[in-house]
Amino acid sequence: MIKVNIKNNIITMTGHAEYDDYGKDIVCASASSIVITSINLCLRFNKDSIKYKKETDKLTIEVLSNEKDILLTIENMIMMLEELASTYKKNIKIIKEDIK
């Protein structure tokens, strides 16, 4: 299962959806596309708006900017991941912790 943990300005995505074999998994591909597209858009708006770190089976995004375009992009990313999670409940879970 993919777990997306959202806490304050940190978003962490871990795991594998296990919907299908690695490389054929439409849930993983969808989640990856949503997140990578959002990261790229934030960086196009402002190269210093976020920091991200890709590790094996883990991606961490730290939102550094309060610019409207950046916040809307991140909000949209979360909404799209939530929509994916509502369709594939066994494969992706969104966890929102206390937000300041």
Give phi and psi for 8, each to the nearest 5. Answer: 55, -120
Q: What angle do CA 53, 58, 36 make, to 5 degrees?
A: 65
Residue 70 contacts residue 49 (beta carbons within 8 Å): yes
pLDDT at 45: 97
pLDDT at 22: 82
Q: What is the DSSP string of 6-64?
A: EETTEEEEES---SSSTTT-HHHHHHHHHHHHHHHHHHHH-TTSEEEEEETTEEEEEE-
Give phi and psi for 28, each to the nearest 5. Answer: -65, -45
Would the pTM count as exceeding 0.95? no
Percent of the chain with pLDDT over 90: 89
Q: Under DSSP, is residue 67 helix (H, G, I), strand (E, B) or coil?
A: coil
Mean pLDDT calculated for residue range 21-46: 95
Does residue 53 carry a pLDDT above 70? yes
Does residue 98 carry a pLDDT above 80? no
